[in-house]
């Protein structure tokens, strides 16, 4: 990979749902043409898509010396903004003095052109809203699926910055390799599950078993022993309050 000294990371706070690359890809393509010496990437706080820490790692590995992080939110959410700063601060602490220079761009709402964005949206071509869109109900959604176990993989901000995306990916691969689908094990990526110091956190129901620091390199054993053989890996369970250990 050729070295690009300046990177721009465009963030969006998805908790679940779409990877923001779909939304910003056209804008980034234009920016790449304008600034061919800059690498442009997207990243998310949690949920689908590449996590902020992972893209910062990628930039550092590629030899970036300056990384500008800008939020793609068009309406400022100070809480989410604070989370991005925390995640980046955590990453910088982990890197130590050799970290690239990471800089934060002002929010889009702080620019003078924000009003022009709104103006362009309401002044341009519009499309009629239709009643022929897909309904909110379907017979396929009338019943709870018949899965045996529900695996909750935390993709909150702290877990997403500390291995959650890699764990989720490894879990998908391990289940697929073993032919286990949604009717066997239903996997849901969630927002923060609370014991953030144990990141990445994974919880299994109805077993009422919570795992701490279930990094990607532990996933195969976890799947084989707990999900296939039904034997929880006790040494990887996270610490719990007494009130949380009651049988489900
Ligand atoms: S972010 Fe995962 S438990 Fe809080």
Q: Residues 162-182: pLDDT tens digits?
A: 999 999 999 999 999 999 988
pLDDT score of 246: 58
pLDDT at site 248: 46
Does this model's pTM top 0.85? My answer is: no
**Closest by alpha carbon to 153, among 210, 100, 197?**
210
Tell me the C-alpha distance between 102 and 58, whole Å: 13
Residue 1 has pLDDT above 60, yes or no: no
Tell me, what's the pLDDT at 17? 63
Ligand 1 pocket, 155 CB below 6 A?
A: no
Taking residues 220-239, report their average pLDDT: 97
Q: Which domains does the chain have, with CATH numbers?
A: 6-114 (3.40.50.1400), 139-244 (3.40.30.10)
Q: Which atom of ligand 1 is nearest to the CA of 46?
A: 1
> DSSP letters of 110-132?
GSTTHHHHHHHHHHS------S-
Both tokens assigned to 87: 């995640």
Give the list of residues 6+ apart from residue 204 with CB closer than 8 angstroms, or none: 149, 150, 151, 152, 210, 211, 226, 227, 232
What would the mean pLDDT of 187-204 be, rounded to a whole number?
96
For the Cβ of 195 lying below 6 angstroms from any atom of ligand 1, the answer is yes
Quickly list H helices, the chain.
Answer: 21-34, 52-61, 78-95, 114-123, 157-161, 164-177, 219-222
């Amino acid at each position: 990979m050729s070295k690009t000294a300046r990177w721009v990371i465009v963030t969006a706070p998805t908790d679940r749902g779409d990877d923001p690359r779909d939304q910003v890809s056209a804008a980034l393509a234009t920016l790449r043409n304008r600034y061919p010496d800059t690498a442009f990437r997207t990243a998310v706080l949690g949920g689908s898509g590449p996590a902020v820490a992972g893209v910062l790692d990628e930039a550092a590995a590629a030899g970036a010396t300056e990384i500008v992080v800008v939020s793609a939110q068009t309406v400022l959410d100070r809480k989410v903004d604070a989370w991005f700063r925390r995640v980046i601060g955590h990453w910088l602490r982990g890197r130590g003095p050799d970290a690239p220079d990471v800089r934060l761009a002002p929010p889009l709402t702080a620019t003078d052109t924000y009003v022009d964005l709104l103006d362009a949206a309401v002044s341009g071509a519009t499309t009629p809203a239709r009643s022929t869109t897909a309904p909110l109900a379907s017979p396929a959604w009338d019943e709870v699926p018949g899965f045996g176990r529900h695996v909750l993989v935390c993709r909150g901000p702290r877990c997403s910055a500390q291995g959650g995306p890699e764990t989720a990916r490894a879990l998908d691969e391990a289940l697929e390799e073993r032919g286990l689908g949604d009717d066997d094990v239903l996997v849901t990526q969630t927002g923060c599950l609370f014991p953030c110091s144990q990141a990445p956190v994974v919880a299994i129901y109805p077993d009422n078993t919570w795992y701490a620091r279930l990094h990607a390199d532990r996933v195969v054993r976890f799947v084989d022993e707990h999900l296939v053989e039904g034997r929880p890996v006790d040494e990887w369970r996270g610490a719990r309050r007494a009130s949380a250990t009651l049988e489900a």
